[in-house]
Amino acid sequence: MSTRRNEILKELGLWPVWRLRGPPAADNTAEATIPGIAGASPAIVSRSRSAGASPTVDALSGSAGASPAFQKRSPSVAGGAPALPLDPRAAEFMGMDWPQLKASVAGCTACPLHKDRNKTVFGVGDEQAEWLFIGEGPGADEDAQGEPFVGQAGKLLDNMLAAIGLKRGKNVYIANTVKCRPPGNRNPEPLEAAQCEPYLHRQIELIRPKLIVALGKVAAVNLLKREASVASLRGKVLAYQGTPLIITYHPAYLLRSLPDKAKAWEDLCFAVETMKNL
């Protein structure tokens, strides 16, 4: 195992690593392998009932009915519920390309958050990424730099990505539920998140990610449009507008709550396994 990988795992509070002593249990109980053992595959904590089985998709969660314009890479969670009526602002952004959408966000005054912002934080990364990570909203560092997750939480997010072989900007896109900083780092109000959602929706249409990972409760609740704890949402493949969605803890929360880092690691491994099956 590389020294770099060891350092990342230590920083994630995942040291010493778990080693599998024998063959996986025949009763399909959860198993753990570790990075770098027998090849370079990332650790997998499997929750699936049988080895190699596709993860289950909770298509009832989130807005499973995708709009016709929303062509996904993978049809895995398409169909089901009827499409929701189109939000008038979403209609405004339909058909926008990246430059148009970026310009629209930069000039947005749709909610009170624009009054205190320094920079809008549009999102960053590979515009064709298979992985989309969605956080809550910009903090002070992000507001100053115009890029998501550049503070302490961002460093942890980068390490979490590295632990599963990903890198910001390379097959990964990072965005937030709101594009302007809520003052004092408060949670975005539902109205603010609702006003900003059409931007995120259009970004997702343009990126067409295979998998979305929501970071923390605020992102999860805004995407799923229902109140629930991260603990209750973890370990399932949900859906946002027809795209598979996995929920894990927010890196800022993990900086304060070390024991949950191991759970976040499980979630990342679950996401890797899910991605393999998409």
Size of the site for ligand URA (CB under 6 A): 11
From candidates 130, 142, 143, 205, binder to ligand URA by CB under 6 A: 142
Per-residue mark of binding to ligand URA, 19-58 (x: CB under 6 A): ----------------------------------------
Determine the Cα angle at 216 with ends 224 and 33, to 5°.
105
Q: Which is nearer to ligand URA, 55 or 139 (CB)?
A: 139
d(CA 162, CA 169): 12
Longest Cα–Cα distance of the chain, Å, equals 59
Determine, following the binding rule CB under 6 A, whether residue 176 of this chain makes contact with ligand URA. yes
Q: Which is nearer to ligand URA, 148 or 235 (CB)?
A: 148
Q: Which is nearer to ligand URA, 93 or 249 (CB)?
A: 249
Cβ-contact 134, 212 below 8 angstroms:
yes
Q: Which is nearer to ligand URA, 153 or 272 (CB)?
A: 153
Residue nearest to ligand URA (CB): 135
3-state SS, residue 246: strand
Q: 16: cis peptide before it, omega within 30°?
A: yes
From candidates 59, 153, 172, 237, binder to ligand URA by CB under 6 A: 153
Stretch that binds ligand URA, among 123-131, 133-141, 203-211, 225-233 (CB under 6 A): 133-141
Determine, following the binding rule CB under 6 A, whether residue 139 of this chain makes contact with ligand URA. yes
Q: Which of residues 200-259 bind ligand URA (CB under 6 A)?
A: 252
Determine, following the binding rule CB under 6 A, whether residue 137 of this chain makes contact with ligand URA. yes
Tokens of 259: 């024991």
> What residues have CB less than 8 Å from 173, skipping those under 6 apart?
123, 124, 125, 126, 127, 129, 131, 132, 133, 203, 207, 209
d(CA 149, CA 135): 8
Q: What are the C-alpha distances in Å from 170 to residues 59, 101, 203?
A: 28, 21, 17
Q: Which is nearer to ligand URA, 60 or 140 (CB)?
A: 140
Tokens of 48: 């699936």
* Positions that interact with ligand URA (CB under 6 A): 135-139, 142, 148-149, 153, 176, 252
